[in-house]
Structure 1
Amino acid sequence: MNFRMIFARTLRISLYFLLLLSIIAIIAYAYLKTVIYPQLPPTDGLHNIHMQEPLRVYSKDGAALAEFGDERRKLLKFEEIPELMIQAILSIEDARFYQHHGVDFHGVVRAGVSFIKSGFKARQGASTITMQLTRNLFPKSIGREKKLERKFKEMLVAWEIEKILSKNKILELYLNTIFLGHRAYGFGSAANIYYDKELDQLTLAQYAMLAGLPKAPSANNPLRNPKRALERRNYILKRMQQLGFIDTQGYEAAIAAPITAKRYRFSKDFDAPYVAEMVRTYMLKNYPEDAYTGGYRVYTSIDTPLQKAAQQAVRKNLFDYDHRHGYRGAIAQIAIEDLLPPATDNEQQALTTEAVSPQEQHWQKILEKYAPKAGLTPALVLAVENQSAQAYTWKHEQVTIPWSGLKWATPYINDSSRGPTPKTAADVLTVGDIVFLKPAPQKVEKKVAKKPTETTQEDTEASTEDLSVPLIKYWHLAQIPQVEGALVSLNPKNGAILALSGGFNFYHSKFNRIIQARRQPGSNFKPFVYSAALDHGYTPASTINDAPVVFTDYKGKVWKPNNYSHHFTGPTRMRKALAKSLNLISIRMMHEIGVQKALDYATRFGFERHRLPPNLTLALGTPELTPLEIIRGFAVFANGGYRIKPWFIERIENPQGKILYQANPQVVCRSCDLPLEVDEKAALPMGLAALLKEKTVEEIEIAKSPVFEPDPQNNSKPDSEANQPQYAPRIITPQNAWLMTSMLKSVITEGTAVRAKRLKRNDLAGKTGTTNDQHDAWFSGFNADIVTTAWVGFDQPRSLGRVGRKRETGSSAALPMWIHYMRVALAGKPQHNLPRPAGIVTLRIDPETGLLARPEQSNAISEYFERRTAPTRYAQKMEDLYMSGQGPDDAGSPDADQLF
């Protein structure tokens, strides 16, 4: 065969081969064009790509309160990512990242050779960081199946991404999107979750540990598989050394480092679960599509120190109530023979670590099913001595419970009865008991004399507490209280909720008693009736007869109301009647002014009319109201007569910091000379219930509450309109508000709340409340800067009972909670009383009749009046002199000039 024939044949074969390649290329192109390309995601929006971020809740001072969402992500800019972290990732995932253009053909060839050598089994991957990023950004379009088609898609999209984004931007996206186990997406959140640190605070060994997670977040996880995680970490460190990222000394130090990873949850500055749940519910209703993934930052009106004080006050108060009523016994009992571990063979014994004995392992296993609750630690009683006990706690500690932590545990019989006082630890505990313990400060015993005080029907016993006594930490026997309580505090000048605790423990009961529990306020409602009486012409000196009264309705039903003490004081001044919380006087006043007028007047304070009983029982506080509705009413007295709207969301931001909503609440403007608003329509419900999309299993039917609901479309309003100040309407006169505050101060100085005098301030006013059979105990109190309401009761109403002869009332059950909180809230704050408004005068009066005191009267007292309703007659004795002709001409009705 000559050369020409060979050449012709070769050319023909080559042409056939080129034709075949062309056909394959055309088919491949057609396949890519018609099948693959339509499936590829668009890449033109990568510059503005949105990554899922959780919803985060903050206090007004920036403290982190809560986080909601399945993906925990903390976005970092490329400049914020430590160089060692980047080098660790490049060492293991894509060493030629800065040399290729999205697809590393060296890696493809290497993976192909490995594939052939292994008998067509995948041994090496050829994915670059850019290709991995495509899977993270477009999981639905690219897929995750190990197929050749997926690789083609990854390559094509990777090429497009490399054309659009810089290398640093690609790496930034990758490091923020990759899943790293335990809900961590991105290395910023992984540093928080595994090490409770920021990414720039980690060590070389920790960077290498995190770099080993992307390939298999479960298999290489240091928490689930520490041995395998350690091997991969060390391999990464070796690669970093080989690539020149670290020197030999750094490598050897990192190799020797132990595994320090642990599971850390969201790092809250403070846990305020009831507030966080209110925010979560609101966001789900108003941002339903991406409430958990949109990266919203919600800043509340909550003041962190006050929130801490509120939650501590609720818990302390409920623990104190619980201790007063006795110990209900262990939560479980383990037989003595079961306290010893089962016999183990030599092989099992060898597996036991030196740090934990078989005995302790057995105790730990017993305690596994009992989780800590509300700061209480489960413990197993191991030994009971004369006046102490030994226990092993859920925290794997063996502790001593001294007598000071046991002697309170008088056996509980019922809410009004207890068993004999324990003499020894054996009267309280038995070996094998599983109990709750809490660390508690023990005060060095120091007797403090009680100051004599006037006893009233609602406990007025002075406190012996001395905060200067040194403290010693010890373990205290405890139990989960059955009783519940709640506290809410707000700024009366604009309605901002400063602190809110809806119960003893949110994780035990999610029912928020501040906005959901409708309970009778009892005497806590009387100030609104008294305010109506002042508006009707009564004065603080008006005398009303505290005597038995009988009412018969049109059906012939007889009602015989009584005082709490079942005693009667006869003619009594209005100020003293409020201080002593006399029921019959409240009823007589309301009967005098009329039920309809009292109802109309009460709605001014924001109470819904249909919630108020249209009869005289309203004077005793029989409507069912939430604590938030009550505090809104008391805020009117605190701010000088204006109805505010409580609110809790200050602003909402998106991940870029753009403000989507900014609170613009109605504020009190005492210099604005606003007219008195008496339109009851203004008191229609504004309902927090509308914020709640659906009820949870734990919820009782949501009660409507007067909470200012943020407008999610507020950002669409013109700036000029959105920033316009809004003024709270005036609903009672400044004179009425000032006189009511003055009388409510008497509740503290001489009435049912005298124990509040321990705060040593003269700017505090308030009112106790106790309902029939002591189902509910209340105290609401304020100064010009802050108003706070405290409530105590059982979720399924029953009597709060008594301790000995001492009943649990608003004074003994709720007021201590208020005091504990207000001590913190008012610390370092100057006294603040609202200035006396024009038209208020001071006159000397007779304490028995409330009329003007005679000039020579030695027992006269001073009282405040509105000029228009001030008394114009002298006390009876002077009038007798005048009628007999022995008194001065002006003895009966003095001129106004003489009075004022």
Structure 2
Amino acid sequence: MAIPLISALTTPLRRAAGALPVQARRLRQWLAARSKKQWLLAVAALPVLLLLYVLLLIPLTPSIGDIQKNKVEAPTQLLSADGKVLAQYKRSNREWVALKDISPNVINALIATEDHRFYEHGALDWRRTFGSVLHTAMGRPQGGSTLTQQLARNMFPEEIGRARSLNRKLKEAVTAYKIESAYTKDEILETYLNTVPFLYNAFGIEMAARTYFDKPAQKLSVLEAATLVGMLKGTSYYNPVQNPERAQQRRNTVLAQMNKHGKLSDQDFEAFKKRAIKLDFERQDEAVGMAPHFAQALRKWLIDWADANDYNIYADGLVVQTTIDSRVQQWANQAVARQGRQLQVTANGLWSNRNQWTAKNPLVQSFVRESAVYRQAVADGQDKDEALQRLLADAEFMANLRQDKVRVQVGFMAMDPRSAHVLAWVGSRDFGIDPFDHVSQARRQPGSTFKPFVYGAALLNGALPSDQLMDEAVRIPLGGGQFWRPTDGGPPSDQPMTLADGLAFSKNTITAQVMAQVGPAKVAKLARALGIRDSKLEEVMSLALGTSPVTLQEMVTAYSTLANGGGYRAPVMVTRITDREGKVLAEFEPPAAELALDSGVAYGLIDMMRGVITKGTGRGVARYGVSGDWIGKTGTTQDNADGWFMLAHPDWVGGAWVGFNDSRVQLNDYWGQGAHSALPVVAEVAAASQRGKLVQAQARFEMPAENNTFVQRLRSWMLGFGDNKQPVDPFEQPPAMQPLPDRGNPGDAPVIDDPEARPIGQSGAGPRGPSGDGDFPGFQNNPPAAQQPQMPAQRPADAGQPQPGVVVPGASSNPVPSNPAPAAPAFPGSASAPQGQSSGNPPPIERGVVVSPVSSGTVGQPVPTADGGMVWRRATPSGTAAPQSGNAGIAASEIN
């Protein structure tokens, strides 16, 4: 069996080997048959063919115009909307200096070493070229390129390449001749010295002098000049920082060449070659400007635009007017830096060597196994366990790993919802340390900031914010015997709760019931329409709690669509591009708004989200001086891996994400909540924008005027009147925001111990899912009630003291509604009434009727106000039974 198989495999090889002598014999016969004349013609044709090929290369190599443009290239400037320079797009980190401003020692060293007949030959040194060919043929490879040829490679590395081939040498020679025809010898020398690359982000002799010797190129000594010129043979191999001995040997070779060609005396040469290299090294970091992540995000679009319009962003001196407001950007940078520092202190304490960062922690061991150092050790043959233990015991390695893993990151973005102009963009705490963009690149679970899309879909289906659902334990069938049991941080109140309060207090139990009525497909469809257009949304029930990762840019865009009355516009980053002379090359107008959500429904959702700021999880913005008509939403994901906060106004929308690059690293249960990690960043920038008059305090979200059924129902609910009454805007004077109560020292807040949790119906550890704001999602094995966090209750008015309400102008003709609104439920998660308030639900307050702290007047009678309007005085009962709403069932109409 084996013999036939071997024969079948080897037969083709034997046949091929036998055919080789036959082919060789035929070739020899063909060559022998050629006449002497034919041989002479063939030899004579070679130069002609070579010349024709060179002529073909001329149009394929860089033109003289390209060469001259490269010499005087000007980088593109990125300007803010108010004229501040944000960034520059240039090929490299270099500063052009004239030849007269370069030390003669550099010029002498360069010419003596690289091309001592530079001023005598044309583009090619034929003597050196033929010598190089001869030495190479004898097995001693030797370079023969002139400075002009080297300049061609440096200026056009992509067009010419660096492969060892005849084709590359011919292209290099053709380009060198073009350079010689366009430049004088001094211009060639100046261009060469300003374009030659060095290490450590230094290009050109000026940046090299500053990097290695902390001085300008004009002041370089003979030894310093020889050291830098010596590096040109191999910048890494002769790097004086990493390889000082090699660099010194190469420097001495340069000194010897200078001595040989009369640029250095024998006495100086003997003295200099004995000296060690003395560096004054300082890495030259490229200036990144105030919005580096924004500049990086814009670069690709700008390159595409320039290519389509025959411009070069690195050479043509374009001026790009962006939408960034330098004031908002600076405020955002400061807020991110300030909050990042504060949270880093907390993170360092939580992940110190005395707490979680220990060799026994399985997560820390996982970090080590995932490191490049560990993988390399295993690849080199080291035992896995030995490599792990060795690295765990390496203090320096562990300190660097901890610093990398436990670095708090923050992303922030702000937009103008009216024009879709991007006002600020902060992708990380430090672009130099972490250039990864947490605005447009990072996809993280949005948690409860996704919930408004669930309620928006419900409103589209015909629900009203006043519709009620029971705040009770929820068990939603998923099919196949599986169930979803979403929970909150505390036990349910077992009381009816309006949809508006369900959103304001971020109740998972209410949101899940709404999702069950509407369906994930419609929620995902609405979210995509509003602005979540690049990230994939999994159409599952848990989407209601924000389980599908999205970008911060998408979330800010979606909230901007809401603030714009349901009109979607993609973020606008550029308004105008001009040339260096100021000639307008292109202007960009905001795109026409695309209707993503009916304006009436959008306003209904906006009104629900007002409650987040006035009484719900986002009311902490008041501490920062934010006032006026604002909407927002907090978000916190499982184990506090992600903290979010979104805030919107008719003039301004902003959002922030806080977390770690590795989602397995988290903050504690207090600082990990979006209300404490991300909210301060957004609120601080919003307050500064308001003080800077970029946000008008009197601006209001306006109810649309169109006469449709939903708007009529919405007006009726908001004002507490029948459809036949004259509607008025109840938000002309929005309620004052309540400050957060004193929680003591937040650093002492307990850490919630999250057990191994898994989704219902799944075996093993399931994917992490987001919770409510500081709460736990619908997983089994939730922590006991004693471990679950309690949201701080809103500080109420004293018992018997009515709370401020909304003044309705001309209310003297408006009767007190006969059917008061349902009683508001106690604050979710509260086991008892807050201090200063009697037990039971707070008194019901009708929308459109003020409960004013007047000291006189008859209950139920109007009391005149200073502006000619009327307010109503009414009793404050200890509780009123809340009738069930007939609209609790949500219809299943299609989302448009």
Return the TM-score normalized by structure 2.
0.52
Name the residue aligned to 2:633. 767
Deviation by residue 1:232-285 (Cα, 9 ceiling, x = unmatched): 6767888999699xxx99xx9999997336373652436988667756877999
C-alpha contact (below 8 Å) 1:524/1:779 kept by paired residues: no
Query: 1:318–1:635: structure 2 CA closer, same or farther, 3 Å change rule?
Result: farther
1:262 paired to 2:128: no
Task: Kindly provide the amino acid, as one letter, of the partner of residue 328 in structure 1.
Answer: Q
Q: Distance in 2 between matches of 1:484 and 1:604?
A: 32
Residues 598 and 161 of structure 1, relative CA distance in 2, 3 Å threshold: closer
Residues 328, 637 of structure 1: alpha-carbon distance in 2 compared, 3 angstrom cutoff:
same
Question: Within the alignment, does 1:632 sit opposite 2:658 as a pair?
Answer: no
Q: Which residue of 2 aligns with 1:45?
A: 63
Question: Could you say which residue in structure 1 is the equivalent of 2:616?
Answer: 751
Kindly report the root-mean-square deviation, in angstroms, between the aligned alpha carbons of the 2 structures: 7.1
8 Å Cα contact 1:101-1:159 kept in structure 2: yes
Q: What residue is the counterpart of 1:726 in the other structure?
A: 591
Question: Relative to structure 1, is the Cα distance of residues 136 and 274 closer, same or farther in structure 2, using a 3 angstrom cutoff?
Answer: closer
* Residues 61-89 of structure 1: per-residue CA shift (max 9 Å, x gap): 5455998x8xx574848679647465664
- Contact 2:412 2:426 (C-alpha < 8 Å) held by counterparts: yes
**Contact 1:435-1:479 within 8 A present in 2 as well:** no
Q: Is 1:171 the equivalent of 2:189?
A: yes
Aligned residue for 1:338? none
Counterpart Cα distance in 1 of 2:653 and 2:161: 58
Establish whether residue 529 from structure 1 lines up as the match of residue 455 from structure 2: yes
| Contact 2:54-2:170 at 8 Å conserved across structures | no
Please tell me whether residue 323 in structure 1 is matched to residue 349 in structure 2.
yes
The 5-angstrom pairing of residues 285-296 of structure 1 reads 295=314
Aligned amino acid, residue 499 of structure 1: W
Native 8 Å contact 1:529 1:619 kept in 2: no
Q: 2:566·2:599 contact (CA, 8 Å) conserved in 1?
A: yes
- Greater Cα offset, 187-196 or 794-803: 794-803
Contact persistence 2:212–2:282 (CA under 8 A): yes
Unaligned 5+ residue runs, structure 1? 1-25, 334-367, 371-429, 439-476, 663-714, 848-856, 880-886, 892-896
C-alpha deviation, 1:489, in angstroms:
0.9
**Which of 724, 730, 745 is matched with 1:841 structurally?**
730
| Cα distance between partner residues in 2 of 1:821 and 1:123 | 63
In 2: Cα distance, 1:732 partner to 1:154 partner: 60
Distance 1:620 1:146 in 2: 60
Partner of 1:581 in structure 2?
A: 506
Correspondence for 1:548: 472
- Given candidates 696, 705, 715, the residue that maps to 1:832 is 696
C-alpha change, 1:255 and 1:590, in structure 2 (3 Å) is: same
Question: Aligned pair 1:489/2:413, yes or no?
Answer: yes
In structure 1, what is the Cα distance between the partners aligned to 2:636 and 2:142? 75
Superposition deviation, residue 596 in structure 1: 8.8
Task: Please name the residue that 1:16 is paired with.
Answer: none
2:679 matched to which residue of 1? 815
CA pair 78-647 structure 1, distance change in 2 beyond 3 A: same
Match of 2:633, SS?
Answer: strand
2:424 is aligned, of 494, 498, 514, to 498
- Paired with 1:325 and 1:595, the residues of 2 have a C-alpha distance of 38
Q: Aligned AA for 1:757?
A: A
| Cα distance in structure 2, aligned partners of 1:332 and 1:215 | 49
Amino acid paired to 2:185:
K
Give the 3-state SS of the residue equivalent to 1:489 in structure 2.
strand
Q: Which amino acid is 2:674 matched to?
A: G
Higher strand share: 1
Deviation, structure 1 residue 605: 1.9
User: Which amino acid in structure 1 is aligned with residue 346 of structure 2?
Assistant: D
Name the SS of the counterpart of 2:558 in structure 1. Answer: helix
For 2:513 and 2:393, how far apart are their aligned partners in 1?
60
Q: Distance in 2 between matches of 1:175 and 1:215?
A: 14
Q: Is the 8 A contact 2:128 2:144 kept in 1?
A: yes
1:874 matched to 2:740? The reply is no
Secondary structure at the aligned position of 1:766 is classed as: strand
**Alignment partner of 1:779: what SS?**
strand
Do the aligned partners of 1:208 and 1:236 also contact (CA within 8 Å) in 2? no
Q: Describe how 1:697-712 pairs up with structure 2 within 5 A.
A: none
Measure the CA separation in 2 of the matches of 1:807 and 1:128.
63
Read off the aligned partner of 1:260 and give its amino acid letter: L
**Residue in structure 1 matched with residue 445 of structure 2 by the alignment:** 519
For the Cα contact (< 8 Å) 2:410–2:428, is it kept in 1? Answer: yes
Q: Output the amino acid matched with 1:581.
A: S
How far apart are 1:538 and its partner, in Å?
Answer: 4.2
Question: In the aligned structure 2, how far is the partner of 1:125 from the partner of 1:614?
Answer: 64
Contact 1:514 1:626 in 2 (8 A): yes
C-alpha change, 1:503 and 1:86, in structure 2 (3 Å) is closer
Could you tell me how far 1:525 is from its partner in structure 2? 1.8
Contact 1:135/1:142, CA 8 A, preserved across alignment:
yes
8 Å contact from structure 1 (residues 492, 644) kept in 2: no
CA contact (8 A) 2:447 2:547 kept: yes
Change in Cα spacing, 1:863 to 1:582, as seen in structure 2 (3 Å) is farther
Conserved 8 A contact 1:176-1:186 = yes
Tell me: CA distance 1:432–1:201, structure 2 relative to 1, closer, same or farther (3 Å): same
- Find the aligned partners of 1:746 and 1:143 in 2 and give their Cα distance: 65
Aligned equivalent of 1:228: 249
- Provide the aligned length of Structure 1 versus Structure 2: 646
Separation (CA, whole Å) in 1 of partners of 2:45 and 2:515: 90
* Equivalent residues in 2 for 1:589-604, closer than 5 Å: 604=529
Match of 1:859 in 2: 802
Q: CA deviation at 1:779?
A: 1.9
Write the distance in 2 (CA, Å) between the matches of 1:770 and 1:189.
47
Question: Which residue identity is paired with 2:644?
Answer: W
1:840 partner SS: coil
2:569 aligns with 644
CA spacing shift, 1:33–1:533, aligned 2, 3 Å: closer
How big is each residue's C-alpha offset from its partner over 1:404-445, in whole Å with a ceiling of 9 and x where there is no partner? Answer: xxxxxxxxxxxxxxxxxxxxxxxxxx999558779xxxxxxx
Task: State whether structure 2 residue 656 is matched by structure 1 residue 790.
Answer: yes
Q: Give the partner amino acid of 2:248.
A: K
Cα distance in 2 for residues equivalent to 1:545 and 1:265: 62
Where does residue 645 of structure 2 map in the other structure? 779
Alignment of 1:187 with 2:205, yes or no, is yes
The 1-side partners of 2:667 and 2:142 are apart by 74
1:219-243: per-residue Cα shift (whole Å, max 9, x none)?
A: 7654433423554676788899969
- Cα distance in 1 between the residues matched to 2:199 and 2:664: 48
Instruction: Flag the 1:571–1:593 CA change in 2: closer, same or farther, 3 A.
Output: same
Question: In structure 1, what residue type is equivalent to 2:411?
Answer: L
Question: 1:130/1:534 Cα in 2 relative to 1: closer, same or farther (>3 Å)?
Answer: closer
* Residues 343-382 of structure 1 aligned to structure 2 (within 5 Å): none
Aligned residues of 2:212 and 2:281 also touching (Cα < 8 A): yes
Identity %: 22
Report if the CA contact (8 A) 2:97-2:206 is conserved.
Answer: no
Q: 2:194, 2:204 within 8 Å by CA — same for their partners in 1?
A: yes
**One-letter amino acid matched to 1:501:** G
Distance 2:470 2:338 in 1: 40
Rounded Cα–Cα distance in structure 1 between residues aligned with 2:530 and 2:821? 41
